[in-house]
Amino acid sequence: MTTVAALTCGISWAQTSVSLYGLVDAGVTYTNRIDTPTQKGGLVQFTSGSSQGSRWGLKGSEDLGAGFEAIFTLENGFDVGTGALGQGRLEFGRQAFVGVSSNWGALTLGRQYDFIGDIFPAFAVASNTPAGLLAWSLPAYAAGGYTLDNRVWGDQVNNAVKYQSPSIAGFSFGGMVGFGNVAGSMGTNSSNNFVISYDNGPLSAALAYMSIHNAAPASNSGEFAVGAAYMVGKARLFGMVSDVHLSSGSRPRATTYEAGLAYQVFPALSLAGGAHYQHRNNGVGSANQLTLSGDYLLSKRTDVYWVSPRAFDLQVH
């Protein structure tokens, strides 16, 4: 017996509002020292998507009446240096979903970001400065196979059903289930994500939980994240804590703390900085990074930026 619940949204230029959008980010990065098995030294390289991943996409909506809208998003990521598709060479690897929204909230189905990726960049150094990947990359617990990253950028979850509530007095909540699509097992390759958030006036904050089955071989992962930001005049104070752990073996765990300040000097220029500290269990040691940046708007859509991250490890014996 097969039961099917489905939603389709066809693109009709006469009836549907469709937007084409995109972003291209490219630059040159200097790293003062990189060690490999065969050599070590400085590196100057072309980088694609240093601050934000290059992308293009389509999003649209259609009025269904009675306050309901059909919505969809298709978003492709690519490497501007080579033209290659991103996200494992998927055509719409960043996002691909369809859904319905109304005053009761939004229900969407497809490949989607989890709520940590949706909300928590607002509290992270990487997105409150133009540092982007240069600030995402340090808090990466390589000894844990990179499954213990602080994951502020979020995961694209396949086969996901996601609900986001409307805002009520600044509060909202959401839940998402990623189906593993494995016969005979609801849990295999599945994921669950929940969030409660507040955004009203100068204060915003959020608390989230994410679990991923089979995130690593024979191991599940779990993450708690909490973050907040506060506006004081032209200054934005922000910070968050993320705790990620694996269920198997020695139960690897990484807890990342980050905080910073962004200041709008004048409409075209902003200065920002922040610090990371990551604690790792099992004697792996701790990691730290200090990030300073400046961002200048040449127009509403084009900017140039400078970022200076300094990273170092504190080994525990």
Q: What is the pLDDT of residue 210?
A: 94
List pLDDT tens digits, range 58-68. Answer: 999 999 999 99
Residue 285: Cβ within 10 Å count: 14
Q: What is the CA radius of gyration of the chain?
A: 21
Query: Which tokens is 281 given?
Result: 């269990």
Counting as low any pLDDT under 70, the low residues of the chain are 1-15, 136-147, 149-150, 311-317
What's the pLDDT score for residue 136?
65
Whether 219 and 246 have beta carbons less than 8 Å apart is answered as yes
For 185-221, write each residue's pLDDT tens digit. 888 889 999 999 999 999 999 999 999 998 878 889 8
pTM of the shown model: 0.84
- In this structure, the number of other CB atoms found within 10 A of the CB of residue 114 comes to 27
Q: What pLDDT is attached to residue 172?
A: 97
Q: What is the pLDDT of residue 8?
A: 44
Cα–Cα nearest to 84, from 43, 127, 49:
49
CA distance 139 to 90: 26
Q: Which residues of 179-212 are buried (b: 16+ CB within 10 A; e: fewer)?
A: ebeeeeeeeebbbbbebebeeeeeebbbbbebbb
**Tokens 């200065």 identify what position?**
271
The pLDDT value recorded for residue 1 is 43
End-to-end CA distance of the chain: 59
Surface-to-core class of residue 79, CB atoms within 10 Å of its CB (0-12 exposed, 13-18 middle, 19+ buried): middle
What is the model's pLDDT at position 144?
53
For the beta carbon of residue 294, count every other beta carbon within 10 angstroms: 17
Quote the DSSP letter at residue 124: S
pLDDT at 287: 81
Q: Round to whole Å and give the CA distance between 281 and 115.
A: 26
Side chain identity, residue 69: E
Domains and CATH numbers, the chain: 104-314 (2.40.160.10)
